[in-house]
Structure 1
Amino acid sequence: MPIRPQQSSGEQTLRWAERRALVGGRIREIRLEQGLSQEALALESGLSRTMIIGIEWGRKSVAYERLWDIAAVLDCDVTELFVPAQSRPSVTPYRGGSRAMSKSDDR
């Protein structure tokens, strides 16, 4: 049983990434349905906004205890966070400077 990420197989790493994306996508979906901002979810759950962003995009792992904190803020049962999201995110996150500028941005 690997104890460090670098000790896990590529297959295991992919499974973990899929699970993070599933839970993060569902958190994002529920948050958006409720009209809650990432900042509000972060403040009420005790996590940073950066952490919420990382969780929602499947880039950050979260301690399972924190899932209960997030579920409480979203007013749902923690098991709802493990149901696949109905929709995929429609936009990709902005990474400062990597977005092409349009002609209107030149002004």
Structure 2
Amino acid sequence: MDTRQIIGWNLRRLRVEKGFSQERLALDANIDRSYVGRIERGQENVTVSALEALACALRIEVRELFSDVADSAPRPPSLRPGRKPRST
């Protein structure tokens, strides 16, 4: 796996663990949603500024986006589609 794929894999994993949609993450990081999708697919040469904004929005350290991924690791799951119910 190359570095772009590792970053994308970890970004998706961490985003899903935190329960963020791509749109929510993009809004919180003040970047375009389609850019988040391209990063997660390993298609984008992401900037340091974008990495910092994404890490800040996820409340993680930037270094967590560079964690090694085992070749046998299952693909991070998708979030359930649709809106989340309001909490009261």
TM-score, shorter chain, exceeding 0.5: yes
Q: How far apart, CA to CA, are the structure 2 residues paired with 1:88 and 1:65?
A: 29
**Partner SS for 2:46:** coil
Q: How far apart, CA to CA, are the structure 2 residues paired with 1:69 and 1:54?
A: 16
Quote how far apart the aligned CAs of 1:61 are: 1.3
Larger radius of gyration: 1
Unaligned runs of 5+ in 1: 1-16, 92-107
Match of 1:38 in 2: 22
Percent sequence identity is 32
Corresponding residue pairs, total: 75
Query: 1:26-76 CA deviation, whole Å, 9 max, x = no partner?
Result: 000000001100000011111111100000010111111211110001110
Q: How far apart, CA to CA, are the structure 1 residues paired with 2:58 and 2:25?
A: 8
TM-score, reference length from structure 2: 0.76
Runs of 4+ residues over 4 Å off in structure 1: none
Q: Provide closer, same or farther for how the CA distance between residues 28 and 85 of structure 1 changes in structure 2, counting only shifts above 3 A.
A: farther
Match of 2:32 in 1: 48
**1:89 lines up with 2:69 in the alignment:** no
Confirm or deny: 8 A CA contact 2:22 2:37 kept in the other structure.
yes
Q: Provide closer, same or farther for how the CA distance between residues 48 and 58 of structure 1 changes in structure 2, counting only shifts above 3 A.
A: same
Q: Which of 65, 68, 75 is the equivalent residue of 2:59? A: 75
Q: Which has the higher contact order (CA 8 A, sep 6+)?
A: 2
Code of the aligned partner of 2:25? L
Quote how far apart the aligned CAs of 1:90 are: 5.8
TM-score, reference length from structure 1: 0.64
